[in-house]
Amino acid sequence: MIAAMRSTGKGLRRRDIAFAVLVALIAAGDMISQVLDDTAKASPWAVPLFAALAAPLAWRRVAPLPALLTVFGGLLVHIGLFGAVVRCGILFPLILVLVFSAGVRLDPRPAMLGLLIAWATALAVCLSDSDAGAPLAAWPFVAVAAAAVWVAGRLVRSRGRMADELEARTSELRVVRDDRARLEVATDRARLSAGLDELLHRRLGELARMADDGAQPSDPATAAATFADIERESRRTLEEMRKLVGALRCDASDAGTAPQPTLTHLEALLVRAKGSDARLIIEGHPRVLPAGVELSAYRIVEHLLCALEDVSEVEVRVTFGDDAIELAVSGPARPGAKAAIERARARVKLHRGTLEATAQGGRAEAVACLPTLAKGLT
């Protein structure tokens, strides 16, 4: 649970920052109006501190639970410093937005904790709001609204997970379909090869018998007719062989002839899989590695990318060490990430390397280390 509350500080979106700034300006305007109102008796220092309560909206997608805790703690500080002022007009919508993000982004236990924090924040607002005639009577309505928004967030998360699972299942079925098609092609090629072998044996046997029959002809006309028959049958045999060989050549035309991928192809892989905004970072001193290590490193990154969402927040870091290469892949996790990570782990074990992977709070991060010395490949 502590790990789920931790914010990585990555993945902040411009629109979230703009939204937080907009809410902060609205909060500042609301508090300024109370400062200018003589009956409210609000301190001018309440304005910037109240506007700062909107800042956690910027990372509501990355770390909704810390955002809720920050708002709750900031509210308690504001109440302690400035007492009873009107805060509900800003904080109630802010709480609903954050509790929805908690319902969508977090696992069940952290999401439930987020709902409890939202309830506590709403209760603190009701108790401290100077205009609330019956604060404890108003709190249940706010709590029910927060719970309804939280449930809506859980439904959206469930629907998204189902869509991701269907997409993953569709990809698996597509792979199975392609494998079946390749198997059928291979079966047809084997059948055609067997037919070609049978054709050669049959035709050559017929030509041999015809040649034996015409070896001692009774007259030149018979010999000429025999040779004509042999020529005709030979041409027919050649035509049938050309048809079979042509069919085999067409079947074999789909066979891959491209070279095995290496680390130099990682950028193209990243762009193809996650888009041009995904980041590839190279550290250390790049150099040519053993062919097996190059191929396995590429496949490991390929498997780990399958564990991440197709967004621009993906980062791949390749570090060349003296006797090992380190591959770090991070980004928002997708359902079924563990299966892709296990495929990468199997690749790592082939080279006696290590793989550490975590998938918490909606994000996945994996670090693989492959020895580059000869002894690591034995």
| pLDDT tens digits, one per residue of 54-101 | 889 888 888 898 999 988 888 888 888 887 777 788 888 888 988 998
- For residue range 179-199, list pLDDT tens digits in order: 777 777 677 667 766 676 676
Per-residue pLDDT tens digits for 101-158: 888 888 889 889 989 998 988 888 888 875 544 456 778 888 898 899 999 888 988 8
Query: Whole-angstrom Cα distance, residue 316 to residue 4?
Result: 22
pLDDT for residue 244? 62
pTM: 0.45
Whether 2 shows a pLDDT value over 90: the answer reads: no
pLDDT of residue 213: 63
Q: Do the Cβ atoms of 365 and 328 come closer than 8 Å?
A: yes
**CA–CA distance, 85 with 148 (Å, rounded to integer):** 27
Two tokens, residue 372: 């580059």
Report how far apart, in Å, the C-alpha atoms of 138 and of each of 98, 122, 266 are.
20, 10, 57
